[in-house]
């Protein structure tokens, strides 16, 4: 079977990405433009498309009669028209669980850097501010410990569970948020609005869908009475960028640490860029998932899925 990998460049250089077993014709592209005609041309003979974030809509799928499988190199499936896959008998697979170490560790990198103003202090050392100050230490922005703070987690899957474990090791109290507007399903969960009101840090780990789009907005931010730090390693669209920016500027929240944005790469007119110099704001370029071991694990899991699919379709 022919497999076409449309955006191999989303993996780090040096990560080995061999063809899965059963793939006889393996074609790779470092990246693929957002151009329907180009995607169709590259995939016209493909049985299998492998991609991370290339948008594959109905107009592409219906022009590829040979296509049997779209295999994503990610967990989120927002970039593929799932209805069109069903209509044309195309299987759609994602890969989940490969970043259960990488994303939680990145979550705490962001959290600690914001709570302790890490980028701010790095710059003060590098630009000579500390030297000019003359004191043995510089403490113009308070350092905030995680111990004894309350962490509210929105989205309790494998990653949310691992974040819980690490948070408890830091001595944090952890609250799991129930879905907005629902009664807590068990004693393990706390009502959504109560989590917003009680949390010193809110960490987002939920999928992006109709229920979660702009979940963090003017109204929900107004319920965060403890001026929390918000950490987003989920999807950019879960946060309304303008409302978040306003909340930072009005000191409604203490900071924002995010790996994800509504448009990626971030648009040059995204209001979040206007707060990038804030001492408790830190951004990373959607790479929380991508530790070296996570990338290798992802490809192993993907390769097995594709090989099994080919076995079952011979």
Look at residue 290 and give its three-state secondary structure.
Answer: coil
Known catalytic residue at 286: yes
Q: What is the largest CA-CA distance in the chain?
A: 73
Supply the DSSP string of 122-162, one letter for each residue.
Answer: HHHHHTTHHHHH-SSS--SS----STT-EEEEE--SHHHHH
The conformation of residue 111, written as its DSSP 8-state character, comes to: H
Is 106 assigned a catalytic role? no
Catalytic-labelled residue, pool 41, 59, 165, 264: 264
In the DSSP assignment, the letter for residue 292 is: H
Distance CA 84, CA 172 (A): 45
Residue with tokens 């691992």: 162
- 265: cis peptide before it, omega within 30°? yes
State which H helix or E strand residue 27 sits in: strand 25-28
- DSSP state at residue 224: -
235 belongs to the catalytic site: yes
Burial class (CB in 10 A: 0-12, 13-18, 19+), 125: exposed
Q: What distance in Å separates the CA atoms of residue 85 and residue 300, rounded to the nearest whole number? A: 24
Catalytic residue among 235, 262, 278, 280: 235
Number of Cβ within 10 Å of residue 227's Cβ equals: 12
Q: Are 261 and 273 in contact (CB under 8 A)?
A: no
Q: Which residues are catalytic?
A: 235, 264, 286
């Amino acid at each position: 079977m022919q497999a076409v990998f449309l955006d191999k460049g989303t993996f780090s250089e040096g990560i080995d990405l061999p063809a899965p077993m059963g793939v006889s014709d393996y074609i790779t592209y470092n990246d693929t433009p957002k151009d329907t005609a180009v995607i169709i041309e590259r995939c016209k003979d493909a049985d299998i498309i492998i991609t991370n974030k290339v948008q594959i809509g109905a107009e592409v799928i219906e022009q590829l009669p040979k296509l049997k499988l779209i295999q994503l190199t990610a967990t989120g499936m927002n970039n593929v028209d799932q209805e069109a896959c069903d209509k044309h008998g195309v299987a759609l697979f994602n890969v989940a669980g490969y970043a259960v170490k990488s994303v939680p560790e990145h979550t705490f990198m962001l959290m600690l850097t914001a709570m302790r103003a890490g980028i701010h202090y790095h710059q003060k050392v590098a630009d000579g501010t500390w030297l000019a100050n003359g004191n043995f230490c510089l403490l113009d922005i308070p350092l905030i410990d995680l111990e004894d703070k309350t962490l509210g987690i929105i989205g309790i899957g494998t990653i949310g569970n691992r974040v819980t474990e690490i948070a408890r090791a830091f001595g944090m109290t952890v609250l799991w948020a129930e879905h907005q507007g629902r009664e807590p399903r068990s004693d393990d969960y706390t009502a959504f609005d109560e989590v917003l009101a009680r949390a010193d840090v809110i960490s987002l780990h939920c999928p992006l869908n109709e229920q979660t789009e702009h979940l963090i907005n003017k109204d929900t931010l107004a319920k965060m009475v403890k001026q929390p730090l918000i950490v987003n390693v989920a999807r950019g669209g879960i946060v309304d960028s303008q409302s978040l920016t306003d909340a930072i500027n009005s000191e409604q929240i203490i900071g924002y640490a995010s790996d994800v944005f509504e448009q990626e790469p971030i648009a040059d007119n995204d209001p979040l860029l206007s707060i990038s110099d804030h001492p408790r704001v830190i951004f990373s370029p959607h790479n929380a998932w991508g530790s070296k071991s996570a990338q290798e694990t992802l490809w192993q899991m993907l390769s097995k899925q594709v090989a099994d699919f080919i076995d079952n379709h011979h």
